[in-house]
Homo-oligomer: A and B are copies of this chain.
Amino acid sequence: MAHTVSIIGLQSIGLIEPGDNVSKKICEAADSENVKLLDDDVIVVSQKIVSKAEGELVDISTIKPGAKARAVAKRTKKSSQLLELILRDSAKILRVEKRTIIVKRKDGLICLNAGVDKSNVNGATIYARLPRNADRSAQKLRAELEQLSGRKIAVIIADTYSRPSRLGQVEFAIGISGIDPVIDYRGKRDLFGYELKFKYVAIADEIAAAAELVMGQGTEAIPVAIIRGLSRLQRTDKAGLSKKLSLGRQKDLFRRIL
């Protein structure tokens, strides 16, 4: 028999406002859509609704930009207020172009605009920042969802990322709770008994990418997907799991060659 994994997009979550209880809304939506949570389900939640629920929304019209933000803004098509917001989460600016700033965030992530984003946020001058600590947000969601459902589940918070040397964006796992983000095949055997030397699968990123297949980016309004039927999950209760996926420069084989 075929081995099937299901990506189940919840369509009745509705809009999320600051202070909303996301886990309760997930359970209610799952109930009303006849999708009971099961053991080993991985619940993928879009970064945007976590940021909204945690109140990480900023009205940039209230921001007084500093000298650096004003200077950088001149080299772009962005306002100095938006630049000020981006700089607040940035440790270092890596590139400035008309429409794009690439930074290394204070938490180590290299990404566009420090993750500050306008899409699906209401109000012409309101922008969402990333959750303060997405692993902690994932841990909280998991604890609540396990409590509400009585099931052992995992949670991944997913966000959209541009990639070096590859066109288009995919979802990455930026907050993780309950499963190891990578599967280490090194030392395992292949079909013919030979040792696998270099296989270290970023399963959390693959799960996030799979979830996007139902979640979409625009008016689809599916901010939560349940990934069901995965057979290779390695459960863990460790904290700070997403850090494992973010390579420091010394460990990055592609450093200085692109």
Give A residues with C-beta under 8 Å from B: 1-11, 15, 33-35, 94-95, 97, 99-100, 102, 110, 112, 118-124, 160, 162-172, 181-183, 185, 188-192, 194, 196-203, 205-207, 209-210, 212-214, 216-219, 221-222, 227, 230, 232, 244-247, 249, 251-258
| Residues of the B chain whose Cβ atoms lie less than 8 Å from the Cβ of A212 | 201, 206
- Within the complex, the shortest CB–CB distance from A188 to chain B, in Å, comes to 5
| A202 to B, closest residue via Cβ | B168
Taken together as a complex, chains A and B put the C-alpha atoms of A221 and B2 apart, in Å, by 12
- Report which of B164, B189, B251 forms a contact with A252, defined as CB distance below 8 A: B164
| Interface contact A254-B199, CB-CB below 8 Å | no
| A100 to B, closest residue via Cβ | B253
| Given known contacts A209-B209, A222-B3, A199 and B160 CB-to-CB distance under 8 angstroms | yes
| Interface contact A120-B168, CB-CB below 8 Å | no
| Interface contact B15-A4, CB-CB below 8 Å | no
Q: Which are the 7 A-B pairs with shortest beta-carbon distances?
A: A168-B202, A210-B210, A164-B254, A209-B209, A3-B9, A164-B164, A206-B209
| Residues of the B chain whose Cβ atoms lie less than 8 Å from the Cβ of A170 | 201-202, 205-206, 209
| Interface contact A199-B214, CB-CB below 8 Å | no
- Report which of B10, B163, B207, B227 forms a contact with A163, defined as CB distance below 8 A: B163
| Interface contact B110-A167, CB-CB below 8 Å | no
- Report which of B160, B164, B168, B205 forms a contact with A165, defined as CB distance below 8 A: B164
| Interface contact B97-A35, CB-CB below 8 Å | no
| Residues of the B chain whose Cβ atoms lie less than 8 Å from the Cβ of A3 | 8-9, 11, 214, 222
| A117 to B, closest residue via Cβ | B198
Most B-side CB within 10 Å, residue of A3, A9, A100: A3
| Residues of the B chain whose Cβ atoms lie less than 8 Å from the Cβ of A251 | 167
Taken together as a complex, chains A and B put the C-alpha atoms of A94 and B209 apart, in Å, by 28
| Given known contacts A166-B245, A172-B166, A253-B97, A190 and B202 CB-to-CB distance under 8 angstroms | no
- Report which of B165, B172, B217 forms a contact with A110, defined as CB distance below 8 A: B165
Taken together as a complex, chains A and B put the C-alpha atoms of A197 and B221 apart, in Å, by 18
| Interface contact B4-A214, CB-CB below 8 Å | yes
| Interface contact B9-A247, CB-CB below 8 Å | no
- Report which of B9, B167, B210, B245 forms a contact with A209, defined as CB distance below 8 A: B210
